[in-house]
Amino acid sequence: MTQLNEKDGFTLVEMLLVVMIIATLAAMIVPRFAGRAKEAKIAAATADVRSSIAAALDLYEVDNGVYPTTEQGLQALVGAPSTPPVPQKWRGPYLKKKGGFNDPWGNPYQYHCPGIHNTEDYDLYSMGPGGTEDGNGQITNWDDPTKS
């Protein structure tokens, strides 16, 4: 077994120097990633509204000839609805969504069929970071340039 002497280990000055270097690096790097969380949440909600949930709704419509009603809601994608019109050819689940249909801010996605903006099918949207229906920051399927 080796014995420790006075020269083994780090001095307080060396430790402070390392802490200062780490703090300086963190001060340079952290601000670059600060706005990324908001951008990531917006991207996730946009992907849900315009791709994931939309594709599941389209599969439901292909099997059943109609989209789920507003009353049946998005839950019709994970479990066969029991409210009229009860689908006769439900082949779901059409979507594996754990934890309910909430957007990245914890608010439920809004679904209306028939839609007010998309009268031929449905309106699907997130209320966005503000969590209100005033239109500010909403992520919707009716202003989607890829949807015709």
- Domain of 69: which CATH number? 3.30.700.10
pTM of the model: 0.72
pLDDT on residue 71: 96
Place of tokens 């077994």: 1
- Residue 31 forms part of a structural domain: no
Bridge-based pairing state of the strands 139-140 and 110-112: unpaired
pLDDT on residue 97: 74
Is the peptide bond between 31 and the residue preceding it cis, with omega within 30 degrees of 0?
Answer: no
Bridge-based pairing state of the strands 110-112 and 123-126: antiparallel
Which residues of the chain fall short of a pLDDT of 50? 148
Q: Say how many domains are in the chain.
A: 1
pLDDT on residue 108: 94
- Residue 9 forms part of a structural domain: no
> What's the domain range around 98?
39-140
- Residue 15 forms part of a structural domain: no
pLDDT on residue 148: 47
